Structure 1
Amino acid sequence: MKITLLLLLMEYFIVVFSMSAGDSFTKRRAYCDPAVRCCVVTLSFGMISETILILRQHFAPLPLPRYYEINMNLFLVTLNFLMAFMLIYIKLFAKEVKRIWITLFFPIAQTILILLNLKFDVLYRVKDGGLLAVYPGTILLVINGILNFVFILGKLYYHRVRLGRNYIAVVLMYIATGFASCVVSYFTHTLLFAQTTFIYGFIVMIFIHFYVDNPLSNRLGLYNRRGFYRAIKEIIHYHPDVEYTIIQLDINNFQNFNEKYGYNTGNMLLRSISDYLQSKYRPIGEVGYFGEDDFILCLPRGVFGKKELTELSDVIDEVSGEGYRLHFTAGEYQVTDRNMLPEMMCDRADYAHSKVHHDVLKDNYAVFAGKEEEEFEMRNYMVHSMQDAIEQNKFFIEIQPIYDACTQKPAYGEALVRWNDDRYGLISPAYFIPFAERSGVITVLDRYVWNEVCKCLQTWKAEGLETTPISINISRVDIEQFDVPAYIAGLIQEYGLAPSDLKLEITESAFTSVDDVLIASVNRLHDIGCQILMDDFGVGYSNFNIFKRLPIDVLKADMGFIQDNSTTTKSRVVIESIVSMTKRLGMPIIVEGVETKEQYDSLKDLGCEYVQGFYFSRPISVEKFKALLAKR
């Protein structure tokens, strides 16, 4: 009796542990799912039934054949529900709740009949030899066992693409645990040991699926990138008559929401979005989560559009209750080539989304058009070829002179990177820089440019040429990915340069979120002796508080302030105010993008110290810049 109760206690512990493990893997509050609740409640019912049976056997023993027979029924109940629970967790049942109830009818009915039979003894009959007679109860037992075994194996086979590389392991483990349970029950003459053996096997299956090749996001329990690719490949294959569309969803300025209300509130908001998308779209399609604030959908065409995107914003605003209006943007790709790789479909949806991501007030929904295919192919080519192009020296630098506004002589230059590609020819940095930053290749590219600039300065100094400082661009990604101050200091020492030979340009957009890492890095760069330039001032959302927190030496304003309207009063007041501010701060100003004499004259009259633009010089080769210095 003690051993039996101990085994039962272990069994309870294992079941609870397996459920908790699955829930911790998925982080999706699975117990709220009606199908999971049904499975868990009925499984608990079966475990309670077994407890009653054990206690009954202790105080009022049943004939061993009948006890063995009822115990076997309870074992099958446990087996079926544990397998159903696992399949629900790996999302093979999520769209088939009705089928779940049909499948679970047999073990539910069987558990109830077992409890009734303890009192009324009408369900089973045992022959003299201890074998089960053919009777409604035994027929139900056989049907239940065959149905569930075939159903589960069939389900695993049907979803073999979705299960991925661990499909064979899960199937073999299911068969092996069933066989091991039969062997254990044969030698021990009790199914309690067999039950425990099976549950151990069940936990191994859980670990195989969630540790070896987890298809779910740990944060929300939705499909991660790998799982979503498998899911849409399967759904498109099994539904050839349905036209599908891939939709990339994103929350604009979600980082600001996190900073204002805290990351716990942000996570709760993401779960609310996840629950809403699953409840509304999971029955007809697939829902995935690619991290941060990026959700992805695969739905029949026409189900989701601008109207549904607005509804999503309204629903989430009600749920958040923070008085903070969230703006969603979406990009859609309508699947035309069903044989296309899932990742390529999602890339096209992401490309459409990138068209509206930074301009939500103008439009928040974009559809990938056929005419954009060539542009997309070029972008995709750049992303995948950039690393090789750096290694093959396909990139080179040009230098655009920056002129003293008073003397009209070159004061120094700005290093700009160019890409000479075998396929597309000369590619503008306006195309490849954003993709380099997004993919992280910008860190390799920037270091390549910095080294090339230092080599030029070293060579010119060795030739006795009077050099000017060269400014180099530093991306926010660089600061986040590696120790930029240490690297710059190393370059200065390696090439025998003075810190004043380099000016460091950091774009204004890098300062939109000023954190401790950025402040520390900029301060260390300034301490080295290099001047810090804020580039593209006026293009983004300027925060004048930055000038108090960071040691900025020079301001670079974009000509967009007065472009095409250089004589209007408002434009003049704006640029005059900026020049006045920099003078009070003791900070020189460079205005870039100067293209006409009128613009230059206006800036000179306002007291601007330096100008840069096509009016004076386009970016030129290193050799031409060297010749320009020699003429100075």
Structure 2
Amino acid sequence: MKSTYTIIFTCMALIQAICVYITKKSKRKIAPDWILPTSISLIPTLANVAITLSQSTQVCNWAYAVFYASLTWLLLIMAYFFAKFTAYEKIPKQIKIVLTALAAIDSLSMLLNPILGHAYQCYGSLNQYQEVCIVTRGLLGFKIHLILSYLLSILSFAILIRKICISPSVYWRKYLTAIGSLFAVILWDALFVLKKTVIDTSIIGYAIACAMITYFAIISKPHILINSLLGKVAAYTSNMIVFFDIDGICVYANEPAKKFLGIDDGSLDKCKELLEEITGQKIEVEKNENYTKTIATNKNPVAHLQVEYRTIFHNKKTEGVFFQMQDATESVNRYRKEKYLATHDPLTGIYNRETLFKNAEEKIHAAPETSFYVLAIDVKNFTLLNDMFGRETGDTVLKKMAFLFPSKKLPNVLYGRLEGDKFGMVLSKEDFESNVAELRHIGWQIGTLLRKRHYSVTLLIGIYRTGENDISIPTMFDRALIAIDSIKNSGDAKIAYYDEEMRQEMVWEQQIVTEFSNAIASRQFEIYLQPQADREGRIVGAEALARWNHPQKGLIPPIHFIPVLEKNGLISKLDFYVWEQTCIILQKLKRMDKNDFYISVNISPKDFYYTDVAQSLIDLVAKYEIDCKNLRLEITESVISTDLEMKLPLLDRLQVLGFIVEMDDFGSGNSSLNMLKDIRVDVLKLDMGFLYRAKDLERSRIIIKQIILMARELGIQVVTEGVETQAQADFLRSVGCDVFQGYYFGKPVPLEKFFSQMLP
């Protein structure tokens, strides 16, 4: 019999060890709290194995000590575990300290019993099979041990019963299992104590309780709870849920579904017909269909319905189908709004840049044989319009443009807003050529918005013509915009066609701008001097001109880089460079005792805005210790045609200091008698082109003569530019011209050549 119990106890220990392993591998939140109780439960079981195997009173005495001591700790830790298991965290800290201290004292008492013999006595006894078994007789210390054990058990009972009282019945199962297991163990142990059987079999109850709690707390899923919660989810969700059995009969519809379908519990048989009408699809359970789709409905306020249809299986057999439906009106409307905002310009309501590019690509690729025009349309001086009338008026103009684009005469046009005041359009060559007047008319119609305010709106149109080996759509529009740039400063042109020369000009402009700073730093700009001669032909001065000696491109003429620098606000840096280099040359001439030799330098209109012209010139003259009169300053009418009140005092200041101010290109159209009336200059530079362009040569000669006479009357010296022949020089001498400049007297030359061949 003892061997049978030994096997049973060993099996129980094995079960408990498996529980420990399963708990350790589990990822459930409660698993770490259950590892310690399951591990400690092994100790009394193994102690019982030792008791049944041994016939030595001393060995059994120690085994019983371990058995009773470990049971105390097991019951205490089980109570703490049940507190965690039931989410009860309100055991006061002081009580925990007291209980732990009592458990420690009791276990120490049990472990000292083999020495002191105060808690129980061990003695041999024969069982019914005449086998010697070592049993115990409880003393006072053992009774105290029993009281503590029962108190700890009652604490666990109290924690579990409290949880049952405050929880819905669907949660009771796992707590009742724990209570039942604990109650069975205590009852089993009490019967052993009362009957005083030879072998304590109550340990089997501990092992079974350990396995039961491990199963319900760690292994099993709460199917009853899950099914109950799912049932309530179906009942309480705002989604509409309908179930059909395998015969297609409606067995359940929650309240939202019944309300939407307009039925009650007594008319569930109408569900199938109603849902088939709404979804437009037959409900055939045997087909095992599954789908999710959004449909439009005529049931206000539900304009759109998201329908999910699923077949339910159990063991690979169809159990029925269900519908889950929800009002998708808000989400559909939100999606449409987001899609609209993602594809349309928020101000004008037409396609935005990205959508225009996408649709343009589709349109052009869909008709490879058709020649298309890609248009960029820009409102000329739109920034000024905004500044004069306010951004609100500017926005109104843009919206009016977008409104006018979808013309009946241009039904196949694709249009959108590129950015700011720039719009894009794609249409066939034939449509454009036959309706170009309609596009101009759009500009006229927009102009009516501001006509009462005496402001004319002008549309500039750049056109890129598609070809065989075409580029990307964004690049097409970029090139159409390049075409617009070519006419922005034109007074008459409204339409420009892109050609490769425009692109080359832009590439060239970019190269100039990119390389300019390095060119200044590395002194790639060289000063050329063009001589000026007096009436006797002596070289008395020169004009300083800049030439770019590029390391790869060679000598670049000014016409190729000066306009670029002016356009990009870099001309003032070049002018300052020329001024300083000229001062260095004048310093050299001074050292050569050429104190009366002068050099003229140009002042550009933008110099007044990017630098302090007067102070810069004064500082340079002081730095190189030259005379102000030797550094002459050439200006044109365009220099002072704006902000006259600001610039005139600066020029007066320079003249007072001794600088000589020259009016350049007089007679070329850029200077006039009107400006001469307002500005006190020292020198007039008369352009001989005035004479060349005249139809009546004699008439032009008379005008030139009178200009020179007028200048002499005003005390202004005259320098004539563009003198190329002996005859021109003789004529100018005869009418009183003082100084001459032109190819007849010398072309612009580098410094070395000027000093070696032309300097007197």
Q: Determine which of 737, 741, 744 is the counterpart of 1:612.
A: 741
Deviation, structure 1 residue 483? 1.3
Shift in CA distance, 338/593, structure 1 to aligned 2, threshold 3 Å: same
Shift in CA distance, 576/370, structure 1 to aligned 2, threshold 3 Å: same
Q: Determine which of 393, 398, 404 is the counterpart of 1:280.
A: 404
1:418 aligns with 2:603: no
1:539 aligns with 2:663: no
Task: Tell me the distance in 1 between the aligned counterparts of 2:664 and 2:516.
Answer: 24
Is the contact made by 2:375 and 2:461 (CA closer than 8 Å) also made in structure 1?
A: no
Partner of 2:579, secondary structure, is helix
1:381 aligns with 2:505: no
Partner of 1:551, secondary structure, is coil
Query: For this pair of structures, how many residues does the alignment match?
Result: 436
Match of 1:487 in 2: 616
Deviation, structure 1 residue 619? 0.3
Is the contact made by 1:329 and 1:360 (CA closer than 8 Å) also made in structure 2?
A: no
Deviation, structure 1 residue 593? 1.9
Is the contact made by 2:637 and 2:675 (CA closer than 8 Å) also made in structure 1?
A: no
Task: Tell me the distance in 1 between the aligned counterparts of 2:516 and 2:353.
Answer: 25
* Structure 2: 5+ residue stretches without partners: 1-235, 239-293, 305-323, 367-371, 407-412
Is the contact made by 1:281 and 1:287 (CA closer than 8 Å) also made in structure 2?
A: no
Task: Tell me the distance in 1 between the aligned counterparts of 2:348 and 2:648.
Answer: 36
Shift in CA distance, 592/324, structure 1 to aligned 2, threshold 3 Å: farther
Deviations 1:28-83 (A, max 9, x none): xxxxxxxxxxxxxxxxxxxxxxxxxxxxxxxxxxxxx999xxxxxxxxxxxxxxxx
Letter in 2 for 1:387: S
Deviation, structure 1 residue 414? 0.9
Match of 1:241 in 2: 365
Task: Tell me the distance in 1 between the aligned counterparts of 2:539 and 2:352.
Answer: 55
Deviations 1:416-453 (A, max 9, x none): 11112234322211121111011112122112111111
Task: Tell me the distance in 1 between the aligned counterparts of 2:736 and 2:441.
Answer: 52
- CA RMSD in angstroms comes to 4.6
1:315 aligns with 2:500: no
Q: Determine which of 484, 497, 504 is the counterpart of 1:367.
A: 497
Q: Determine which of 327, 341, 350 is the counterpart of 1:142.
A: 327
Match of 1:400 in 2: 530
Is the contact made by 2:482 and 2:503 (CA closer than 8 Å) also made in structure 1?
A: no
Match of 2:597 in 1: 468
Task: Tell me the distance in 2 between the aligned counterparts of 1:287 and 1:402.
Answer: 56
Task: Tell me the distance in 1 between the aligned counterparts of 2:477 and 2:657.
Answer: 47
Alignment of 1:563-582 (within 5 A): 563=692, 565=694, 568-582=697-711
Shift in CA distance, 326/237, structure 1 to aligned 2, threshold 3 Å: closer
Match of 1:561 in 2: 690
Is the contact made by 1:593 and 1:614 (CA closer than 8 Å) also made in structure 2?
A: yes
Match of 2:755 in 1: 626
Deviations 1:261-302 (A, max 9, x none): x96359788556534433334993344567xxx856454465
Shift in CA distance, 536/353, structure 1 to aligned 2, threshold 3 Å: farther
Alignment of 1:32-51 (within 5 A): none
Deviation, structure 1 residue 529? 2.5
Match of 2:721 in 1: 592
Deviations 1:366-385 (A, max 9, x none): 31223555455434422333
Is the contact made by 2:532 and 2:543 (CA closer than 8 Å) also made in structure 1?
A: yes
1:510 aligns with 2:639: yes
Alignment of 1:446-457 (within 5 A): 446-457=575-586
Deviations 1:190-222 (A, max 9, x none): xxxxxxxxxxxxxxxxxxxxxxxxx99xxxx79
* Structure 1: 5+ residue stretches without partners: 1-64, 68-102, 114-137, 163-214
Deviation, structure 1 residue 390? 2.2
Deviation, structure 1 residue 618? 0.7
Task: Tell me the distance in 2 between the aligned counterparts of 1:553 and 1:330.
Answer: 46
Partner of 1:562, secondary structure, is helix
Deviations 1:138-183 (A, max 9, x none): 96x7303432455566678x66xx9xxxxxxxxxxxxxxxxxxxxx
Task: Tell me the distance in 2 between the aligned counterparts of 1:562 and 1:392.
Answer: 41
Match of 1:121 in 2: none
Is the contact made by 2:376 and 2:477 (CA closer than 8 Å) also made in structure 1?
A: no
- More strand per residue: 1 or 2? 2
Deviations 1:572-623 (A, max 9, x none): 2443343344334322222222222333333333323222211221101112
Is the contact made by 1:557 and 1:592 (CA closer than 8 Å) also made in structure 2?
A: yes
Task: Tell me the distance in 1 between the aligned counterparts of 2:476 and 2:682.
Answer: 45
Is the contact made by 1:466 and 1:630 (CA closer than 8 Å) also made in structure 2?
A: no
Shift in CA distance, 287/621, structure 1 to aligned 2, threshold 3 Å: same
Which one is further off, 391-400 or 270-279? 270-279
Which one is further off, 306-315 or 430-439? 306-315
Could you tell me the TM-score, scaled by structure 2's length? 0.48
Task: Tell me the distance in 2 between the aligned counterparts of 1:452 and 1:343.
Answer: 43
Letter in 1 for 2:498: F
Deviation, structure 1 residue 333? 3.8
Deviations 1:67-119 (A, max 9, x none): 9xxxxxxxxxxxxxxxxxxxxxxxxxxxxxxxxxxx9x99xx75999xxxxxx
Match of 2:190 in 1: none
Is the contact made by 2:531 and 2:748 (CA closer than 8 Å) also made in structure 1?
A: yes
Deviation, structure 1 residue 471? 1.1
Task: Tell me the distance in 2 between the aligned counterparts of 1:460 and 1:535.
Answer: 24
Partner of 2:663, secondary structure, is strand
Deviation, structure 1 residue 488? 1.2
Shift in CA distance, 580/66, structure 1 to aligned 2, threshold 3 Å: farther
Match of 2:272 in 1: none
Letter in 2 for 1:553: D
Letter in 1 for 2:491: V
Q: Determine which of 512, 523, 527 is the counterpart of 2:652.
A: 523
Partner of 2:626, secondary structure, is coil
Task: Tell me the distance in 1 between the aligned counterparts of 2:620 and 2:672.
Answer: 32
Is the contact made by 1:537 and 1:556 (CA closer than 8 Å) also made in structure 2?
A: yes
Task: Tell me the distance in 2 between the aligned counterparts of 1:232 and 1:412.
Answer: 61
Is the contact made by 2:443 and 2:457 (CA closer than 8 Å) also made in structure 1?
A: yes
Shift in CA distance, 351/461, structure 1 to aligned 2, threshold 3 Å: farther
Task: Tell me the distance in 1 between the aligned counterparts of 2:699 and 2:714.
Answer: 23
Task: Tell me the distance in 1 between the aligned counterparts of 2:473 and 2:635.
Answer: 38
Deviation, structure 1 residue 510? 2.6
Shift in CA distance, 269/558, structure 1 to aligned 2, threshold 3 Å: farther
Letter in 2 for 1:400: Q
Is the contact made by 2:415 and 2:423 (CA closer than 8 Å) also made in structure 1?
A: no
Task: Tell me the distance in 2 between the aligned counterparts of 1:520 and 1:316.
Answer: 44
Partner of 1:513, secondary structure, is coil
Partner of 2:530, secondary structure, is strand
Partner of 1:285, secondary structure, is strand
Which one is further off, 425-434 or 268-277? 268-277
Shift in CA distance, 626/231, structure 1 to aligned 2, threshold 3 Å: farther
Partner of 2:542, secondary structure, is strand
Match of 2:149 in 1: none
Task: Tell me the distance in 2 between the aligned counterparts of 1:344 and 1:451.
Answer: 45
Is the contact made by 2:664 and 2:685 (CA closer than 8 Å) also made in structure 1?
A: yes
Deviation, structure 1 residue 517? 3.4
Is the contact made by 1:387 and 1:441 (CA closer than 8 Å) also made in structure 2?
A: no
Alignment of 1:93-108 (within 5 A): none
Shift in CA distance, 398/151, structure 1 to aligned 2, threshold 3 Å: same
